[in-house]
């Protein structure tokens, strides 16, 4: 297992800054074998102890810790293409049909169309409920923000110098400060912009060729990102490498990472249909 040395972070409560020690406590809590998928390429969590898992083919399955199949959808496949909203509805991208769908009360409803852009990745904001979508079209790529009703309200494509930000944004998340963090396998980088779309930084790996896949953030703004061939990295809010939280000795082809509201970490991989749950952090 990777190093569990405590990390010190600055936590602001009201007008006072209080220094706390955040300790990584990576211990296995459970393993879940997900039915009807060939691997666990992406995981989306619900608050009700249920979760959705998709594979690299066309299956998107809702299951629980007991392994029951609660729902199953056939889609055009993809990678980080689904997420659960704050009101516990699954929202997912259908790349082939160029549409974003929402499942509400077990019924599939169209949320919005993406025109001639192919949606790759999706995230439902915990800050304001907006929907962030990474997309491609020909040789172009962008991130689009929609409001809760499906109206397009923002497009992010280039930095303030006119340089292209994205190539293939296949996983996406949002940090606690509103930063939009995207795993871009085409750029071999994590690309981060602020909530207004202004470029902040790119993280291009640690010592080896970087293959960024699943990405999420924790309650204090750390960024967790899977390197498909190597490890899971922990970055600070400004993109500085802090440490590995898993290495290739611990994992095989990690491609999905997410956290629940109890600081439990869920990991999916490209080889098996098993999702592993770990205790991630605690305050000391």
pLDDT digits (tens, 9 = 90+) for 36-53: 999 999 999 998 889 999
Give the model confidence (pLDDT) of 91-147 as tens digits. Answer: 999 999 999 999 988 899 999 999 999 999 999 999 999 999 999 999 999 999 999
- d(CA 165, CA 168) in angstroms, rounded, equals 10
pLDDT digits (tens, 9 = 90+) for 143-199: 999 999 999 999 999 999 999 999 999 999 999 999 999 999 999 999 999 999 999
Q: What local confidence, expressed as pLDDT, does residue 155 receive?
A: 98
Q: How confident is the model at residue 4 (pLDDT cuts 50, 70, 90)?
A: very low
- What domains can you pick out in the chain, each with its CATH number? 30-278 (2.120.10.30)
Looking at residue 194, what is its pLDDT?
98
């Amino acid at each position: 297992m990777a190093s569990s040395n405590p990390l010190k972070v600055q936590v602001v409560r009201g007008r006072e800054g209080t220094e706390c020690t955040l300790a990584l406590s990576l211990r296995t809590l459970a393993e879940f074998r997900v039915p009807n998928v060939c691997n666990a390429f992406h995981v989306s969590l619900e608050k009700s102890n249920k979760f959705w898992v998709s594979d690299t083919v066309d299956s998107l399955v809702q299951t629980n810790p007991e392994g029951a199949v609660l729902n199953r959808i056939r889609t055009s496949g993809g990678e980080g293409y689904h997420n659960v909203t704050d009101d516990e509805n699954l929202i997912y991208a259908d790349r082939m049909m160029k549409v974003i769908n929402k499942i509400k009360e077990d019924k599939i409803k169209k949320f919005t169309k993406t025109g001639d852009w192919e949606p790759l990745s999706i995230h439902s904001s915990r800050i304001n409920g907006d929907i962030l979508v990474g997309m491609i079209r020909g040789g172009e790529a962008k991130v689009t923000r929609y409001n809760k009703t499906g109206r397009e309200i923002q497009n992010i494509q280039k930095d303030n110098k006119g340089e292209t930000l994205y190539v293939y944004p296949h996983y996406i998340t949002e940090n606690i400060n509103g930063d939009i963090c995207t795993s871009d396998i085409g750029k071999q980088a994590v690309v981060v912009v602020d909530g207004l779309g202004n470029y902040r930084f790119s993280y291009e790996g640690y010592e080896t060729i970087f293959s960024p896949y699943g990405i999420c953030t924790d309650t204090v703004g750390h960024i967790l990102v899977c390197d498909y061939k190597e490890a899971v990295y922990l970055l600070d809010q400004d993109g500085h490498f802090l440490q590995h939280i898993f290495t290739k000795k611990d994992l095989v082809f990690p491609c999905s990472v997410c956290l629940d509201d109890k600081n439990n970490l869920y990991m999916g991989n490209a080889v098996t249909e098993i999702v592993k749950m770990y205790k991630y952090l605690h305050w000391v």
